[in-house]
Amino acid sequence: MEKVKFLKPEQIENASLNLIAQYEHKFGAVDKPPIPVEEILEAHLGLSFEFEDLTATFGVPDVLGATWIQDQRVAVDQSLDPFEHPTKEGRYRFTIAHELGHWELHRHYFLAAAAQLSLFDEEPKPPIVCRTSFRKAPMEWQADNFAGYLLMPGDLVFKAWEALHGNREPYLAKKEMADLSARWGLAENQQPTVDIARKLAREFNVSGQAMQIRLIGLGLIKTKEPDPSLFSI
């Protein structure tokens, strides 16, 4: 298969916004969270979806999702079924969005590779398999970023932030993070989720960690004290 090309963050974000725009053209505006990722997958893209015991399917642990490009099928591990495991809804929705990222960003690689195979090759074509324990390849990083942009579009996040916070001023989270780390005994490389990220996460049906990463990326949460101005007195 052709090597996966580097994509800038803005290219990945634009791809996610384009997918939402295509969905809106068919089904109406998405003007508030949560983003209907299941409807985008099934109703808009026409992909089939099911829960499956992916550990049994692939014979390895920690497989959360898989996409069969040629079969136009997506599966999520049954351990993430939000009806059976409501506390995992954020992880479930992120996995769906991650697989949509593969479909939008990477399916052409697999279709091109399949076209080069012999017409008499009857070997089943491998799916994109997403595991938690493997060091992430560029394809996986891109799908993760796509998922974050899709589930938490910037305009909706800013709108929700203003409704909750009153303005677009960033929140300096250093003290709250230090207090939470001390209370929970976290290591220095572990970052606790602050309260405002957890509140917005519930609105967008994502995990607190995913929302906090997005808020930091948008500059709405600061984890360090701002540098003093050269002109301050």
Encoded tokens for 77: 């591990």
Question: Is 190 a residue whose pLDDT tops 50?
Answer: yes
Q: What's CA 71's distance to the chain center, in Å?
A: 23
Q: What is the mean predicted confidence (pLDDT) over 191-209? A: 96
What CATH number has the domain spanning 9-151?
1.10.10.2910
What is residue 229's predicted lDDT score, i.e. its pLDDT?
A: 46
Task: Give the pLDDT confidence score for residue 95 in this predicted structure.
Answer: 97
d(CA 163, CA 156): 11
Q: pLDDT for 29-66, tens place per residue?
A: 999 999 999 999 999 999 999 999 999 999 888 899 99
- Share of residues in the chain with pLDDT > 70 (%): 86
pLDDT given at position 136? 73
> How confident is the model at residue 186, as a pLDDT?
85
CA–CA separation, 184 and 178 (whole Å): 10
- pLDDT tens for each residue of 83-100: 999 999 999 999 999 999
Strands 73-77 and 63-68, by their bridges, are: antiparallel
Which ranges constitute the DSSP H helices of 185-226?
A: 195-204, 208-217
Confidence of residue 111 (pLDDT cuts 50, 70, 90): confident
Higher pLDDT among residues 54 and 190, named by residue: 54
What pLDDT was estimated at residue 129? 78
Per the model's pLDDT, the better-predicted residue between 132 and 209 turns out to be 209
End-to-end C-alpha distance for the chain, whole angstroms: 59
Indicate where the chain has its CATH 1.10.10.2910 domain(s). 9-151
pLDDT digits (tens, 9 = 90+) for 125-163: 556 777 665 557 889 999 999 999 999 999 999 999 999
pLDDT of residue 84: 96
pTM above 0.85, yes or no: yes
Q: Average pLDDT in the 107-136 region?
A: 59
Looking only at the bridges linking them, the beta strands covering 171-172 and 221-222 are parallel
The reported pLDDT for the residue numbered 187 is 82
